[in-house]
Amino acid sequence: MSNQIEEEQRKFVTPKSIIWFIIAMTVMSGYYLMVNIGLMKVQGMDFFYLWNTGAGGG
């Protein structure tokens, strides 16, 4: 019984799962960036315009 639990815990973090986690994070951040740029284009604004007007944090 305990041997089976140890095996499951050992297999939980594998190089494959870490790679898939990195891929998922990259896809999510890329999707978020695309949505932001898409919204700015719909509103007729440019990303650099927002930065130059001070909306990018001061």
Quick one: tokens of 9?
Answer: 């815990």
Q: State pLDDT tens for residues 5-49.
A: 556 666 677 899 999 999 999 999 999 888 887 877 777 666 666
Q: In the prediction, which pLDDT does 5 show?
A: 59
Q: In the prediction, which pLDDT does 21 show?
A: 93
pTM, two decimals, is: 0.46
Q: In the prediction, which pLDDT does 3 show?
A: 59
Q: In the prediction, which pLDDT does 58 show?
A: 47
Residue tagged 């799962």 (tokens): 17
